[in-house]
């Protein structure tokens, strides 16, 4: 178990090194005083700073929060989801125990900057969210659930900040995403969405509003007929950066939503202490229609809007 966690931590450290290098290295054309601005962690995101980072020689950038939680506890595991697998193997021990590890790796790649000399970019993103039964000796410590979420989208930056009711619009995304858990037959969950995503800033607050439309399934049976009831038609994210602490909230815009609240605090130049609590539906694809409570603590990579 310890060796596997060490490998995962090494991967996160390697990813963080490439991300942090943006604040430490620079193209020779950027003056020292401009680099100082990049190093300063300010509460309000600047379009010009964002542009300098994505124009640098580094390819991968933070998308959603990347974190590792060695101990994540869920109050009522949805064991019924895994009954077919238990019957198939004859193993009657719990497949879904209350304690497990959880981690997410998320990044985006600027594929084409300033299309036709405009403020639109073409980006490719990928998020990998796993729940790992690392303490489950009876089932050889399996990865219980992994959600794979690739995206391709156009991003429009607003250098002068479009003002909407006193809130500044930083950027707008329009694109397509796929999300699945890589399972087959009874365990399979997947869906495709067209989406638009707006990033807002105001002082030390940031917000993200994502709205999506589920693509109709024509050629095969729809595996998630009721997913819109629980995952809804969008996601609202609100963040507040204090002097060092960052508070983050996510809520699905759904009839039966799920909510996530997290907090982070600087550990060093790369990592932050990280705690989060989930309540409600839609926490993972395999159990999107089950109401669960989960909490965990671990570490996360520093994001662009965090303060040190």
Domains of the chain are 2-301 (2.40.230.10)
DSSP strand pairing (190-202 vs 205-214): antiparallel
pTM over 0.95: no
How confident is the prediction for the chain on average, in pLDDT?
Answer: 83
- Measure the CA–CA gap between 161 and 41, rounded to whole angstroms: 20
Per-residue confidence of the chain (308 residues) as pLDDT tens digits? 455 555 455 545 545 444 444 333 333 344 444 434 444 444 456 677 777 777 776 678 899 999 999 999 999 998 888 888 788 788 888 899 999 999 999 999 999 989 998 889 999 999 999 999 999 999 989 999 999 999 999 999 887 777 777 788 889 999 999 999 988 777 888 999 999 999 998 888 899 999 999 987 655 566 677 899 999 999 999 999 998 999 999 999 999 999 999 999 999 888 999 999 999 999 999 999 999 999 999 999 988 778 87
Q: Are 162 and 47 in contact (CB under 8 A)?
A: no
- What does the pLDDT read at residue 39? 41
Q: What does the pLDDT read at residue 31?
A: 47
pLDDT of residue 21: 40
Pick from 282, 187, 200: which is nearest to 233 by CA? Answer: 282
Per-residue confidence (pLDDT) for residue 218, from 0 to 100:
53
pLDDT of residue 248: 97
């Amino acid at each position: 178990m310890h060796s596997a966690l060490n490998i995962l931590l090494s991967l996160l450290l390697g990813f963080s090194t490439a991300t942090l290098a943006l604040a430490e290295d620079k193209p020779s054309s950027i003056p020292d005083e401009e680099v100082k601005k990049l190093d300063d962690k300010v509460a309000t995101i600047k379009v010009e700073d964002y542009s300098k980072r994505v124009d640098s020689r580094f390819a991968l950038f933070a998308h959603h929060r990347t974190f590792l939680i060695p101990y994540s506890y869920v109050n009522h595991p949805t064991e019924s989801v895994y009954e077919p697998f238990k019957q198939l193997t004859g193993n009657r021990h719990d497949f879904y125990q209350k304690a497990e590890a959880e981690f997410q790796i998320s990044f985006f790649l600027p594929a084409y900057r300033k299309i036709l000399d405009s403020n639109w970019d073409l980006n490719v993103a990928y998020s990998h969210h796993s729940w790992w039964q690392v303490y489950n000796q009876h089932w050889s410590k399996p990865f219980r659930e992994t959600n794979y979420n690739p995206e391709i989208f156009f991003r429009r930056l607003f250098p002068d900040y479009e003002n909407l009711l006193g809130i500044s619009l930083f950027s707008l995304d329009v694109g397509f995403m796929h999300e699945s858990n890589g399972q087959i037959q009874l365990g399979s969950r997947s869906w495709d969405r067209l989406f638009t995503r707006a990033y807002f800033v105001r002082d030390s607050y940031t917000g993200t509003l994502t709205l999506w439309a589920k693509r109709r399934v024509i050629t095969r049976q729809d595996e998630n007929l009721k997913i819109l009831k629980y995952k809804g038609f969008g996601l609202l994210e609100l963040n507040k950066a204090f002097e060092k602490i960052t508070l983050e909230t996510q809520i699905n815009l759904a009839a039966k939503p799920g909510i996530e609240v997290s907090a982070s605090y600087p550990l060093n130049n790369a990592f932050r202490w990280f705690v989060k609590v989930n309540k409600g539906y839609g926490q993972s694809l395999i159990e999107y229609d089950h109401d669960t409570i989960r909490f965990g603590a671990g570490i996360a990579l520093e994001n662009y809007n965090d303060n040190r």
